[in-house]
Structure 1
């Protein structure tokens, strides 16, 4: 086992998945048609996005209108990246002017029914999930010179990290599916109207909100807990509306390209206490309820001050050709920030891995300049053997020093061993903390999150629309502090079942712990969180009353999705299992969710019965919409339950008091900043 001098975890590894793709390929959400196809284009006439963030989760509603300017009926296929941890909960297709809600059906059956209805000239709609990559919406026919309207609603948890909230509406295609990109071309332009409206209703005071890549957005502070964002395709400027200060932007009609993610940040008030928040939902007359428990720890994890060894694992495969000069520039700038007491090792890989430095070199300016020269001389070519790279990085580590590994790659493993189980088995042989940056949409998040989880590390997603510096500050803050390892949360006093996630692992500085489960009855509950910090046991506990709630029926679907995620993790870790697949299918059908094994199908009303598809989702949608209408009339609600017996004595961490830093700040800020610029350059070149 590798142990640092302070008894802290000795090995940190950071994976950067850079989904910066071929500039000539389709790289955005949009209407698809085959490359070189003879059929004319459909128009995406409008897209209206409405987001409500209510403290612990977000509801995103996307209304779209397709228009067929041609003389014959055409099928519409709209594709967009899978949002992180999102569950599609509603697909509505307006048929003859009336909305028809889709029902969840086993994926193969749904596709067969859709194709049959399409071949017979009937109206049908289908929403499918293409693994971790995209959601694909198909409409069997858009009639000549007519419009077709659809609506998609998805739910996702929203976590705070070191006092910072983040929401992403993903649009930029990650470029990881080469076969799909080679076959399809995308019409990514909204012809007439694009709107994005966000309503943030926080349980805690919010100091600021920003959209780093959309300066034309209007931001309004309604009160200390409620902020709104409005972005329109015809807006040309943005005024950050502070309290009582709003300026209407100049406007002119313009089309809108769906090729840039919309990222929204908000920062909570500093010095808020560590807390436990609880939301419940129970149907009247039922014994079983659903809960969402959020633990936000206080800032009591000690800082790490000892020196480090840095292993840089750099992808030099052929797909890096357009990005290699940017990578070199990032190295030059980043190396300038290293401490002379640090040591550096560089490994490059394509079809195989090669150590450039032949062991550790002291981080002096002279040595680092030679390293940059060696990297520059290597040049890009070949495939991506990720396994070979990680194996090389895990050799030659000094057990008496804290080690960190940074892996930089622009694609998925495609040479040598590529199975997830093999990566997990390799990492389990080492005392390693794997810290993963998942950069861009459609990256292989299941693989990266799985190997991260098994190493007790953490993952941070990064979009080209992010504040790169901010994301790296979050990562640096975690790496520079000890973590709560072997975390375990116990609830007693009331009966709870089906609690997810089953395994917590480690909790790093600034992270929240979010649990979903079922509860029975009501009364006093005792919550106890235990683990170890730097090898020493630690325990936090509180007690509070659990009350039945009726205003958050969405919790039932969020719980179901949490269980589905757990089952899918097992599928990835241990291989496909028929019983687990059936369990996912049953859950998805019962709760109305799109998954790898289920799709959402819309038919003419009379055709559902023809195919034996039960109509069950309407009641659930009605309950959810009614509850949202009530919540919309209320101010931001605090769900804190440990006021009387606080679990933590210290405030939650934030960036107001400094902290973090060291070589990780200098190197990673420079490297990722340069790589982010490369991503933006690709977008500009494509245009």
Structure 2
């Protein structure tokens, strides 16, 4: 089994019932319809599916059903700090009609998606990047002509859709997406993450607290609402099975390789190389896959630089790991008193294991506070509230009251996150973002990130942050990585992921060790004289313990030494990097630089730029580097018509797994939706009304009781 999977990976790398009429029956029917509406109030959209799912369009009203998935194969090749991933999923149309499908899949938030291959029956087609509107027109034209076609669109930086036209009766559809990303490095470990689940995203029901700049929007066509595919009942086994193989070439000796949340087998082929595959033939996709590894002591690279020449430009990816402070340096670090605001998400999606993890994280955070510190706590679901009217000194009595408050928290309701941010990042009396003189103000935000209004929240954080720092703590088996990472970026903080209670102590301790004080300040990069260089990020921030400097750069030529410098403690610190000659093989650094530039351009919109100004710049970069973005898509069209002309409908269904740790089972009412609550209340009122009708109905003529059609 393992050798077969390794062989496949190696091959890849080389290449409501009827209506009730009359009196009491009608009233009861209306009541139950309202209750059913409550259970489906969280209308499914392209943001909801847990794992890539092929959804069949069943009509013109935006309704979809899900087709059976046959298999999912993931092959990842890691070279140094760059990972190249190919995801292949095979679907089967079991029906007798031609259908159109919509394939929804999550990817890492910084994935540079650049290739699409679709094999439908005996025909293979490859995607080309086009401006989004042009790509959709091309796809719709091909569909109307009976041609097989595919279209990949970005919904969010970590969520994509693929539309597939004219899937014939009993045909197999093989969809392959290829992307690359940089690895995460944290506290001496490299981390590779592959998302297998997405927490459903709550859409706030009310207006924003204050006007925000215009947020990037997807096309109306790609944001059409979907019927939720539904969840499988507990105990039915893996309904979205996946197989994963990872091949690592670290370039330096490895000391250990660990799969964080799945049983996996690790085989070492040499000191610096390893192959990892899931122990089971296929695993359920109810939690994200994470692989971590560290290099042997004494050989840990302090710095690395990868260069890719492409079309007359040298693209560089630079990573520097500053040394950790020793005991003497730690004792000399000046730790300012902190004003710590702890925020906890208590919405319905946090019920169960996620709630336990979040509460444990807050209790650990409270234990780190000293008497010279100040603190407060915020909890939010459909509403938000604070423990104290204002931050208080961390006295034993105040801390004990806070611990009791945390232990009493319960999950339920919606995810009105902006209300919590409004309390955590308030304005002062002068109408400016609040700061507390003499204190380092830090907001620790624990949530699963299950929201759909990320852009609004990013703009809010950027506007209200002031001198505060925002650190996000991702809770649960599949937090919204795009929101958590980007919110921390705008908050000038870091993102910490806690997937199980066993991790809470170590990871919260590491987080607070980071935020004690920066390890490296005033960081700058000196490029060779005369170089016209464009880097992302444009300005390197202060670095916290265990974090690397990662910079992507583009310049005409890079043949001389690059110097990274900063202040470590009170002493200057620097490291020199000399580019090594390219071996001629494309490393993907250019695509990673382009992805970083696109992300920076989109940030400009969130901070006040206009779509009209930014969109052409994004399109130009994406087209040059063949990348999917908010404004570009991958489209593939076959030249030969093989299907009928016009609309196609077909219904098929496969249920998806609840994310690990979620409470409830198939058919349970969703807990993260205020509209659901309203519909449920209406349903109960209708049931009450049914009883009243039953009581008075004996004296009311049947004709008067009939519900108008």
TM-score relative to the length of structure 2: 0.70
SS of corresponding position for 2:527? strand
Query: Separation in 1 of the partners of 2:408 and 2:442?
Result: 25
Confirm or deny that 1:356 pairs with 2:387.
Answer: yes
Distance 1:414 1:229 in 2: 34
Superposition deviation, residue 596 in structure 1 = 0.8
What SS does the corresponding residue of 1:108 show, helix, strand or coil? helix
Task: Tell me the residue number matched to 2:360.
Answer: 330
Match of 1:681 in 2: 661
Question: Aligned residue for 2:34?
Answer: none
- Matching residue of 2:401: 370
Structure 1 counterpart of 2:703: none
Match of 2:376 among 335, 345, 353: 345
- Among 342, 353, 370, the residue aligned to 1:312: 342
The structure with the larger Rg is 2
Residues 1:122 and 2:157 are matched in the alignment = no
Residues 20-67 of structure 1: per-residue CA shift (max 9 Å, x gap): x99997533323357999987522112111100101210001122111
Per-residue deviation, 1:582 = 1.0
Q: Does 1:456 align with 2:492?
A: yes
Would you say the 8 A contact 1:328–1:375 is kept in 2? no
* Aligned 8 A contact 2:287 2:659 in 1: no
- Answering whether residue 183 of structure 2 is matched by residue 158 of structure 1, we say yes
Within the candidate set 500, 515, 518, 1:479 is matched to 515
Q: Give the one of 49, 59, 73 matched to 2:98.
A: 73
Q: Using the alignment, how far apart are the partners of 2:659 and 2:406 within structure 1? A: 21
Alignment-derived partner of residue 265 in structure 1: 292
Match of 1:600 in 2: 634
**Structure 1 position 489 matched with structure 2 position 514:** no
Q: Which residue of 2 aligns with 1:199?
A: 247
Is 1:516–1:559's contact at 8 Å kept on the other side of the alignment? yes
Unaligned runs of 5+ in 2: 1-40, 204-222, 642-657, 668-709
How far does residue 397 in structure 1 lie from its aligned partner after superposition? 6.7
Contact 2:55 2:102 in 1 (8 A): yes
- The answer on whether the counterparts of 2:66 and 2:229 sit within 8 Å (CA) in structure 1 is no
**What is the DSSP-based 3-state SS (H/G/I as helix, E as strand, rest coil) of the residue aligned with 1:110?**
helix
1:224 paired residue number:
271
Matches within 5 A, 1:523-672: 523-525=559-561, 527-532=562-567, 536=570, 538-542=572-576, 544=578, 546-605=580-639
Q: Which residue in 2 is equivalent to 1:406?
A: 444
Q: Confirm or deny: 8 A CA contact 1:33 1:185 kept in the other structure.
A: no
Mean CA deviation greater in 550-559 or 516-525: 516-525
- Within 2, Cα distance between the matches of 1:544 and 1:420? 37
How far apart in 2 are the matches of 1:497 and 1:559? 12
SS of 2:464's equivalent in the other structure is: helix
Task: Please tell me the root mean square deviation across aligned C-alpha atoms, in Å.
Answer: 4.1
SS at match of 1:151: strand
How far apart are the structure 1 equivalents of 2:256 and 2:192? 14
CA distance, structure 2, for counterparts of residue 374 and residue 554 of structure 1: 50
Farther off after superposition, 38-47 or 146-155: 38-47
Distance in 2 between the 1:118 and 1:165 partners?
44
Q: Is the 8 A contact 1:440 1:462 kept in 2?
A: yes
- Equivalent of 2:463, from 411, 425, 437? 425
Kindly tell me the number of residue pairs found equivalent between the two proteins. Answer: 570
Q: What is aligned with 2:55? A: 32
Judge which range, 112-121 or 310-319, deviates more. 310-319
Q: TM-score, normalised by structure 1?
A: 0.72
Superposed CA deviations along residues 654-685 of structure 1, whole A, max 9, x for unmatched, are xxxxxxxxxxxxxxxxxxxxxxxx97320774
Q: Distance in 2 between matches of 1:102 and 1:266?
A: 34
Between the aligned partners of 1:94 and 1:417, the Cα distance in structure 2 is: 35
Q: Judging changes above 3 Å, is the alpha-carbon distance between structure 1 residues 336 and 564 closer, same or farther for their aligned structure 2 residues?
A: closer
The equivalent residue for 1:183 is 227
Conservation of the 8 A alpha-carbon contact between 2:65 and 2:227:
no
Q: CA offset at residue 343 of structure 1?
A: 5.0
Q: How does 1:276-291 map to 2 (within 5 A)?
A: 276-282=303-309, 287-291=312-316
Aligned mates of 2:460, 2:662 — CA distance in 1: 34
Q: Could you tell me how far 1:263 is from its partner in structure 2? A: 0.9
Q: 1:530 to 1:425 in 2, by over 3 A?
A: farther
Inter-partner Cα distance in structure 2 for 1:565 and 1:436: 19
Which consecutive residues of structure 1, in runs of 5 or more, have no partner in the other structure?
A: 1-20, 235-254, 608-677
Is residue 197–residue 230 contact of structure 1 (8 Å, CA) maintained in 2? yes
Distance 1:480 1:499 in 2: 28
Determine helix, strand or coil for the equivalent of 1:78: strand
CA distance in 2, matches of 1:470, 1:264: 17
Matched residues in 1 for 2:451 and 2:377: separation? 19
Distance 1:456 1:589, change over 3 A: same
**Are 1:386 and 2:386 an aligned pair?**
no
The question of whether the paired residues in 1 share the 8 Å contact of 2:75 and 2:246 is answered with: yes
Q: 2:134 matched to 1:100?
A: no
**Mapped contact 2:441–2:469 kept (Cα < 8 A):** no
Separation in structure 2 between the aligned mates of residue 533 and residue 232 of structure 1, nearest angstrom: 44
Structure 1 position 72, deviation (Å): 1.3
Structure with the higher strand share, 1 or 2: 1
* Residues 374 and 214 of structure 1: CA distance in aligned 2, closer, same or farther (over 3 Å): closer
Structure 1 stretch displaced more, 152-161 or 433-442: 433-442
- Matched residues in 1 for 2:447 and 2:63: separation? 37
Q: Is the 8 A contact 1:294 1:515 kept in 2?
A: yes
Judge conservation of contact 1:67–1:146 (CA < 8 Å) in 2: yes
Deviation at 1:418, TM superposition (A): 4.2
